[in-house]
Structure 1
Amino acid sequence: MRERDNETSDDVDNGVLERTDNLETTGIGIVDGATAQIDLALPTLSDGDDDYVEDDGSALPVSEHDLRYGDQDAEVHEVAADDVATEDSAIAENERDESNEVVDADVVAPHGETTVSAQTGVTRRAMHHPVSSDKHALERVRGARVEEEPLQSRRLDQLSADRESPDLLTADRLIDRTRVAGAEPEGMWQRLVYGATGGRVVLADNARVRARKDLDGRISAPLTGGAKFVPVLSRKGGVGKTSVTTLLGMALADAREDRVIAIDANPDRGTLAERIERSSGKTVRDLVRARADVSGFNDLSAIVARDETRLDILASDADPHLSEAFSDRDYHDVAAIAAHYYSIVLTDSGTGIVHSVMDATLELADQLLIVAGRSIDEAKLASETLSWLESNGYADLARGAVVVLNTSRPGASLVRPSELEAHFRTRVRAVVTIPYDAHIATGGPITFRRLSAATRGAARELAAVVVEGLRATGTVR
């Protein structure tokens, strides 16, 4: 502290602390009703802060001295960084003795708390602190250390540098790979060598096995951003739209770990539930009625039917009158429940694109599948569907769609399949051809394992293309 030039004062005001709850009082022996005296060190502010002013109004750099003598009442202002600034002031009157010694300024705390005497010997002028928060203001004015966060709520990277986080306990770090036996390979020769050498020699998979594993990886790739909705559309009946929905759902459910559901939203008596062997006896109408009572997946599983591939089916009403009453609002209610429990929601939307549920179906769609037969009229209707989508606000969905050329009749067609594919590739993201399969042509339940290898492979390729499209869109719902 320094005295003001050519000035002496008989009276000097000492700063009085309004609050003492943040002062470090560890080690101070306090007896109830007594007082204790400590030295309070006020913080030194940076040169850029003009917190103190001379009597003539000029600024005094705080680096030269934190505080100056004064003969007026001391006012301490704490200014918060919010829109509303609050100002508290404290006035203390103390006396100097004859030898100009500084008399302790007692700061009296409430009864039962620590009473502190601050031996500062200074008077604070009007100090205005532009601070970012109340905590910072308290720290700067009172010199108190802001309380640290509880240890259990602190980030691990704020602790000592030699402490590791749980993320570092990885399998690559902990498992001794030299002691882990390789998986038994596929193929006759691979298994023979693997068994003869006690598992020490593992031959590489052949090309067919590698292709199958690669396809598995494409189908099972993770999806982010909530449930994905994939409607299956067709302008013409009899092209195999429901069969394609079933094949796609089975291929997805068979390879993925998450849940997949196919909803029959056909307003005119859909047959999706008849394409699997199991039936729950419940329909989409039952889910609409019980939607308020569905509090867990067990409630939903009592309404849907599950295939052996783990594909869940939500059937439509058998009564056409009830089916026609299934509205876009009902579809939204069902879709909201399905989105809560499933990662992929397929919708067999029925024939046509102007029925009551189509608007809701297209609003939620992340990707479209358009099924076309391998005839001229069927191909034209599919192409016209794309034109309708482009002219009605769904151009992005049309460009990212997948056209499925389904072969629903046996024998060779006079229509060149290569020309059909070439046409649709100019309009959509991908084209997949499903070959004829007698097991599907019967119209009965489809067993995925009983399909021909070509049909099963085409269904899996379709599933991989759909997942790739969903991952590319990055839609978050």
Structure 2
Amino acid sequence: AATDEGDAPAPSTGPVPRTRAELAATGVIGTVPLTRREVHQADEAARVGRVHATERVRTPGADVTLASKRLGEIDDTRESPDLLTADRLLDPRQIARPEPEGLWQQLVYSVSRHRINLGDGRRARARKDLDRRIGAPLAGEARFVPVLSRKGGVGKTTVTSLLGMALADARDDRVIAVDANPDRGTLADRVGRANGRTVRDLVRAHDEVEGYSDVSSIVARDSTRLDVLASDSDPRVSEAFSDEDYRRVADVAAHYYSIVLTDTGTGIVHSVMEATLELADSLVVVAGLSVDEARLASETLTWLETNGYAERVRGAVVVLNNARPGVPLVRESELEAHFRSRVRAVIRMPYDSHVAAGSAIAFRDLQPATRQAARELAAAVVEGLRTPAAVA
């Protein structure tokens, strides 16, 4: 057999076909490799031919080869992009910690020229933890929280205002307080920025509301970003505020707010209460610090339990509101023990002359103890909303 210059003849195990007929009989297309170079080239061509499902995609300036793989050939050790988190990648030694809060902590931080950071003091940690509890996200639909009382003068409207301000001050989403008192309500007076628009205006505009700007022109807003929807000032008109009217207001509020508080007015069987309780995700019951006021609050819980809201009662929050100066005649510890046996949480709201004046409430001007109690109430309400109980 003839060979190229410098190549040795390839080994052969039998007679080599020489005629075209003999080559066709072998089933080989082309020529038979007779040299080492031809054998190597044939082996390389066979190896390339065994690569399955190979495509060449021609892109401008480059050729990209896409090769499919069988299931067993996939590399299971590959990481997805979501594993590249800041906690994993950032070196904590290179990240500047925020300036600590607390007298001793700030002193050490300043003297060490910012090299020693002891972290926040106990009070600062407690405040920030309460902020996190109040500001915890609420996924899904708007939550409705009515504030109830069967007796006037126990501070229900005040508690609604303080709760709304504490929520709005610490949360990033929107909070609204609706005055659903069938009589002349005073919720808007506690905000101090009444604009003359009332719940009746929102009922009329129900079908025309297209965005939050339409709602914001009706509600009043205070410095904490709490929106308040006032009740009608004319008792003859406000008596017409019905169960259906409340549902129309609630339908609009649910589109633009995460938490909807409702000042329900005195009593529990008035015209708006049915819709209020039906939509409620959690309950706040206000009790005064006297024997008859505490008993009425407890009877309110009993009425709710016997009318299909037993689970709501177990998840409710009772506020022991001290609306009078001085030491109360009743023992608060006994009241708290009684209500804790029936509801999820009990909050004591101390007397505050700024609140007792009956004028507009400025959340920042409250006594520290009052502001702390309002924030604890807000945290308790949010925690109840994050783990709601089903209506029995």
Scaled by the length of structure 2, the TM-score of the pair is 0.78
Separation in 2, partners of 1:410, 1:381: 21
2:278 to 340, 363, 375: 363
1:77-226 mapped onto 2 (5 Å cutoff): 165-226=80-141
Q: Go from structure 1 to structure 2 and tell me whether the alpha carbon gap of 1:475 and 1:184 turns closer, same or farther (over 3 Å shift).
A: farther
Provide the secondary structure at the position in 2 that maps to 1:473: coil
Letter in 2 for 1:196: V
Separation in 1, partners of 2:95, 2:101: 18
Confirm whether residue 398 of structure 1 aligns to residue 313 of structure 2.
yes
Provide the secondary structure at the position in 2 that maps to 1:351: coil
Separation in 2, partners of 1:385, 1:239: 14
Letter in 2 for 1:180: I
Q: Which consecutive segments of 4 or more residues in structure 1 shift more than 4 A?
A: 158-166
1:286-435 mapped onto 2 (5 Å cutoff): 286-435=201-350
Matched with 2:60 is none
Tell me how far 1:277 sits from its aligned partner. 2.5
Tell me how far 1:393 sits from its aligned partner. 1.3
Q: Go from structure 1 to structure 2 and tell me whether the alpha carbon gap of 1:445 and 1:172 turns closer, same or farther (over 3 Å shift).
A: same
Tell me how far 1:162 sits from its aligned partner. 8.1
Tell me how far 1:452 sits from its aligned partner. 0.7
Identity of matched residues, % = 70
Scaled by the length of structure 1, the TM-score of the pair is 0.64
Q: Go from structure 1 to structure 2 and tell me whether the alpha carbon gap of 1:251 and 1:475 turns closer, same or farther (over 3 Å shift).
A: farther
Confirm whether residue 444 of structure 1 aligns to residue 374 of structure 2.
no
Provide the secondary structure at the position in 1 that maps to 2:318: strand
Letter in 2 for 1:438: S
Contact 1:225 1:474 in 2 (8 A): no
* Cα deviation 1:372-431 (Å, max 9, x = unaligned): 100011011111111111111111112221111100000112211111111111111111
Contact 1:228 1:470 in 2 (8 A): yes
Separation in 2, partners of 1:216, 1:355: 36
Q: Go from structure 1 to structure 2 and tell me whether the alpha carbon gap of 1:165 and 1:329 turns closer, same or farther (over 3 Å shift).
A: farther
**Gap runs ≥5 in structure 1:** 1-157
Contact 2:315 2:389 in 1 (8 A): no
Matched with 1:458 is 373
Tell me how far 1:206 sits from its aligned partner. 2.1
* Cα deviation 1:169-200 (Å, max 9, x = unaligned): 43224434332211011122322322333322
Matched with 1:473 is 388
**Gap runs ≥5 in structure 2:** 1-70
Tell me how far 1:301 sits from its aligned partner. 1.0
Letter in 2 for 1:433: R
Letter in 1 for 2:269: V
* Cα deviation 1:241-270 (Å, max 9, x = unaligned): 000000001111111111111000001010
Letter in 1 for 2:276: T
Contact 1:182 1:199 in 2 (8 A): no
Tell me how far 1:279 sits from its aligned partner. 2.1
Contact 2:183 2:265 in 1 (8 A): yes
Contact 2:142 2:254 in 1 (8 A): yes
Report how many residues are paired: 319
Matched with 2:33 is none
Tell me how far 1:167 sits from its aligned partner. 2.7
Letter in 2 for 1:440: V
Tell me how far 1:307 sits from its aligned partner. 1.1
Letter in 2 for 1:465: A
Comparing both chains, which one has the higher relative contact order based on Cα–Cα distances under 8 Å and sequence gaps of 6 or more? 2
Contact 1:225 1:475 in 2 (8 A): no
Separation in 2, partners of 1:160, 1:290: 60
Letter in 2 for 1:417: E
Letter in 2 for 1:382: A
Separation in 2, partners of 1:161, 1:246: 56
Separation in 2, partners of 1:166, 1:303: 46
Separation in 2, partners of 1:166, 1:281: 54
1:28-107 mapped onto 2 (5 Å cutoff): none
Tell me how far 1:306 sits from its aligned partner. 1.1
Contact 2:100 2:106 in 1 (8 A): yes
Separation in 2, partners of 1:220, 1:173: 26
* Cα deviation 1:208-255 (Å, max 9, x = unaligned): 222112211211112223111100000000000000000001111111
Contact 2:100 2:121 in 1 (8 A): no
Separation in 2, partners of 1:319, 1:175: 62
Letter in 1 for 2:85: T
* Cα deviation 1:315-334 (Å, max 9, x = unaligned): 11111111111111111111
Separation in 2, partners of 1:270, 1:456: 23
Separation in 2, partners of 1:291, 1:194: 56
Deviates more, 1:437-446 or 1:283-292: 283-292
Letter in 1 for 2:206: R
